[in-house]
Structure 1
Amino acid sequence: MSVPEPPPARPPTWGSHPAGPAGTDGPGAGPWSPALAVTCASAACLVLLVVGVLAARPDVAVLGAAPLVLAVRALRGRPSGASTARFETGDDDDPDALGRAGRLRATLVVEGPGPWAAVTTTRQGRTGADVLVRVDGTRRLTVVARTVRTGPQEVASADVQGVGPDGASVAEPTPTVTRSTVVLPATTPLLDLPLPTRLRGLTGPHESRRPGEGGGLRDVHPWVPGDRLRRIDWRVTARRSPDLRELYVRREHAQAEAVVMLVVDSRDDLGPDPRTWRGSVAPRAQDATSLDRARQAAASLARAYLERGDRVGLDDLGVRRRPVAPGGGRRQLDRIRHALALTAPEGEPTARLRPPRLPSGALVVVFSTFLDDESAAVAARWRTAGHRVVAVDVLPRLRTSGLYDRERLALRMMTLTREDRMAELADQDVELVTWRDQPAVALRVLARRARRHAGAGVPR
């Protein structure tokens, strides 16, 4: 399960004064003070000046007097006013580009009366950059971070401290400013997709067993009242009834749509390192977790089905809230991707007495790690109810290097139990797909395996 990450530590400042508390009035409030290096150098020069005067050594006094005069001159010209820092809220961030490229971008605006500013950026407790930039009133800095994670996350946090001319004075550090965003899951192209055993609707991209229009040839039948004249097959009529006493018409299959329900198990957010599963240590930021894979898999399937004209819905096994009802179109894809990005573990889930209700005849795709019996039991119940169920394993490829013997033994026992659970699902006619091993090929095999005739399983 996921563990909240500790807040980032405040980096050291350039000046001799610590950062003000969070409750100060206004960012960067307070006077400009001498820098620590200038203070120490001025004290040393003053000591040299006093020693030169007392020892009647003008050469020593001159060595201390000249730097002291320059320091006093620099401090007399120090700026006045407060430095401010903020992240622009009107950034033109494309969620699709964020999801595909894994790059988070934000604009940091630094304003201050001083010519320079020391900027320190952090992200999730890790130091990003510590630079000295020229301000001259206002300066806009682009902050770019790379990530493989999805969902709500921090882009960057910044601490800014104004620096006066020649670095002789510094301002009070500004309060830490933070920019956060929601990274939508990326999508991967998929080939053929499995369909439910029963198609619904009066129109759609797939052929059903019902007579209608738009599909392939159903049969050739004698003309009856209600048949359209443009459907008369004159060749068959000439062959079967040369005297035109009876007309024959071509009948077609009706078009129908598939209803697909994507069910995500958000109870587990596991990385590839088994030592992080206990929750005391968070997964590394450069490792995609099982929930990241589940978001990507669900978003890819939703996009593939919606582009084919089917209806797609979304539900979550980890929390009890209103599911995303099945729908179609581009807005439905945006709605599903945003709901997937906000999916996260929310404490200890309550036990379900019965599986969530789904539309009849829907194809159910369950995304889970299947480390316990809950998700497997729910998938088996849906299959017993007559739904076609596809179980997608989203557990990442594990790293076993560095594990102790007892940890290897525990992992081996867990793996054997999980394999037995997956085998039981296969025995109950639940189709299995591993997302880490060429999922497009596995889904195409499932689509061809169940492809018999148009509208298979639909009653006449």
Structure 2
Amino acid sequence: MSGPTASAPRSTEQESTAGWAPTPALGRAVLLAGLLLVAGVLLGRVDLVVLAAPFALGTAYALRRRPTALPQVWITSAEDGPLVEGGEVSAAVGVGNPDTVDYDVVVVRSRVSPWLRISRAGFASTEPADAPPPAETSTAAGRGRSVADRPFVTSVPAEAAVDLELAGRALRWGRHPVGPAGARVAAAGGLLVSRAVITEPVGVRVYPRTEPFEAVEAMPRAAGLVGAHHSRRPGEGGELAGVRVFAPGDRLRRVDWRVSLRARQLHVAATLSDRDAEVVVLLDVLAEAGRSGGVDGAASVLDTTVRATAAIAEHYLHRGDRVSLLEYGPGARRLRPAAGRRQYLTVLEWLLDVRAEAAQHEPYDQVFGPQLLSSDALVVVLTPLLDERSAQMLARLARAGRFVVAVDTLPADLTPPKDRGWAEVAYRLWRLDRETMIGQLREHGVPVVRWAGAGSLDQVLRDVARLATAPRVGGR
């Protein structure tokens, strides 16, 4: 039992020491001192020995305390609250010196996602107050550039640490990595250099910016017993349905005394119950189009889809409705219906993993399995209508009696390819074919409206609610 225990410290020390290698400066110093000493002894010249003495003594003095421990590198991300597109992001790459020997030169470099524009970077010391400060390096970024992808140099005293602070702006939603980060150290007067120590990246969550969105209260049907939408069913609520004669079980606070005194019989005010609705937001992720320019630039299909989903979910969840999310794609991800602020935060987290992915087969049966979609739910489909299967899916939902609203997420400023030949003509023909497909969907009873923020769905929701409450005419 004592053998392995005694050999463990030596093994650890050997591994730590093995991470250090001599620099060319050490080789040159040893070679020059050795040549001068050998030449002085062979030739009997004392002046050559005197010349070799500074090199030998300087090398020996620098190597009197050799480092044994490699530097420690870590990445921390400061998240005081939810980070939204366009918000300020901050992170730090820490470098620690666990050894008893000072690190003369520390070179730190870190990769950062291009959607995190780092505009300020510099070292901040976290060492004891009585220790000497490190050599601080800071760089100001030019306009539209990130300063993170460059080496930063500092020094770290023994048993201390420094932080390379990175500050900038988040340009787009998603999970963006900060790192991997690495550091190399030179010690013993630059005669020894460590191997590169690399740490794993840290993800920064950037939530989509919710565009202003308001919609009318018209809903096709309501399913729950609580909520902000009025139903046709009598019950406890705030919408007056009429006045009727008092019946056993009625509450006294519902008695209409003015009508009761006039009719000389107790009458109560009848109300309609408040009921919540279920809203299903379906994200078409079969194709992507357009080039994302971040929060200040042009929006791609995924940008519009994700931001519109966040705005729609925020609106209906604020009104007490239940919201669920579905992906129309090979992944067929889904988020169960729920209400409240927790569901809104879950929606934002769920949207961070939205990716466009082509499917080799029809994903309809995979997405709309049995008992996954309520018959009373309002289905809002966010689709660019770039794939014929998306149009077929909308038509099948309409034929199944679902309340469907299609929101066109294709960028309005989508330009044709600039290739020579028939590219522009083919683009115009594709546009005409797409308009024909939208017209066919409207003939099938699927309203198609372009996303334009606040008020985009008002008229469509009124039409859908009017169709849902209209009496159905049966053939004889």
Give the structure-2-normalised TM-score. 0.71
**Would the aligned equivalents of 2:84 and 2:170 in 1 still touch at CA under 8 Å?**
no
**Would the aligned equivalents of 1:367 and 1:394 in 2 still touch at CA under 8 Å?**
yes
Displacement of 1:150: 3.3
- Which residue identity is paired with 1:123? V
**Would the aligned equivalents of 2:78 and 2:91 in 1 still touch at CA under 8 Å?**
no
3-state DSSP class of the match of 1:424? helix
- How far apart, in 2, do the equivalents of 1:200 and 1:458 lie? 19
- Which residue identity is paired with 2:152? V
3-state DSSP class of the match of 2:83? helix
Counterpart of 1:426 in structure 2 is: 442
Q: 292-301 or 363-372, which moves further after superposition?
A: 292-301
- Which residue identity is paired with 2:67? P
- How far apart, in 1, do the equivalents of 2:450 and 2:274 lie? 31
Give matches, 1:6-45, under 5 Å.
Answer: 30-36=18-24
- How far apart, in 2, do the equivalents of 1:29 and 1:391 lie? 65
3-state DSSP class of the match of 1:442? coil
Aligned Cα RMSD in Å? 4.4
Counterpart of 2:143 in structure 1 is: none
- How far apart, in 2, do the equivalents of 1:291 and 1:25 lie? 52
Displacement of 1:109: 4.2
1:121 aligns with 2:110: yes
Match of 2:383 among 368, 371, 374: 368
- Which residue identity is paired with 1:171? S
Counterpart of 1:111 in structure 2 is: 97
- How far apart, in 1, do the equivalents of 2:211 and 2:73 lie? 38
3-state DSSP class of the match of 2:201? strand
Higher relative contact order (CA 8 A, sep 6+): 1
- How far apart, in 1, do the equivalents of 2:190 and 2:428 lie? 60
**Would the aligned equivalents of 1:370 and 1:376 in 2 still touch at CA under 8 Å?**
yes
Judged with a 3 Å threshold, the aligned counterparts in structure 2 of structure 1 residues 398 and 25 are, in CA distance, closer, same or farther, namely farther
**Would the aligned equivalents of 1:51 and 1:60 in 2 still touch at CA under 8 Å?**
yes
| Contiguous gaps of at least 5 residues in structure 1 | 1-23, 274-282
Counterpart of 2:359 in structure 1 is: 348
Match of 2:83 among 90, 97, 107: 97
- Which residue identity is paired with 2:153? L
Give the aligned length: 416
- How far apart, in 1, do the equivalents of 2:194 and 2:274 lie? 71
Q: 104-113 or 116-125, which moves further after superposition?
A: 104-113
Counterpart of 2:330 in structure 1 is: 319
3-state DSSP class of the match of 2:454? helix
**Would the aligned equivalents of 1:85 and 1:177 in 2 still touch at CA under 8 Å?**
no
3-state DSSP class of the match of 1:255? strand
**Would the aligned equivalents of 1:195 and 1:363 in 2 still touch at CA under 8 Å?**
no
**Would the aligned equivalents of 1:35 and 1:170 in 2 still touch at CA under 8 Å?**
yes
**Would the aligned equivalents of 2:222 and 2:276 in 1 still touch at CA under 8 Å?**
yes
Counterpart of 1:393 in structure 2 is: 408
Give matches, 1:153-164, under 5 Å.
Answer: 153-164=176-187
| Contiguous gaps of at least 5 residues in structure 2 | 1-11, 115-145
Judged with a 3 Å threshold, the aligned counterparts in structure 2 of structure 1 residues 166 and 416 are, in CA distance, closer, same or farther, namely farther
3-state DSSP class of the match of 2:197? coil
- How far apart, in 1, do the equivalents of 2:16 and 2:338 lie? 51
Give the structure-1-normalised TM-score. 0.73
- Which residue identity is paired with 1:405? R
Match of 1:293 among 294, 301, 304: 304
- Which residue identity is paired with 2:338? G
Counterpart of 2:5 in structure 1 is: none
3-state DSSP class of the match of 2:457? helix
Counterpart of 2:128 in structure 1 is: none
Displacement of 1:292: 3.7
- How far apart, in 2, do the equivalents of 1:411 and 1:59 lie? 85
**Would the aligned equivalents of 1:369 and 1:393 in 2 still touch at CA under 8 Å?**
yes
Q: 394-403 or 326-335, which moves further after superposition?
A: 394-403
Displacement of 1:371: 0.4
Counterpart of 2:133 in structure 1 is: none
Displacement of 1:311: 0.7
**Would the aligned equivalents of 2:170 and 2:206 in 1 still touch at CA under 8 Å?**
no
The percentage of counterpart residues that share the same residue type is 31
Q: 1:423-442, CA deviations, whole angstroms, 9 ceiling, x for partnerless residues?
A: 3333434333434xx31131
Q: 1:356-408, CA deviations, whole angstroms, 9 ceiling, x for partnerless residues?
A: 14101111111222101122221222233333322223334656498323554
1:440 aligns with 2:459: no
Displacement of 1:96: 1.9
- Which residue identity is paired with 2:307? Q
Judged with a 3 Å threshold, the aligned counterparts in structure 2 of structure 1 residues 170 and 112 are, in CA distance, closer, same or farther, namely farther
Counterpart of 2:161 in structure 1 is: 139
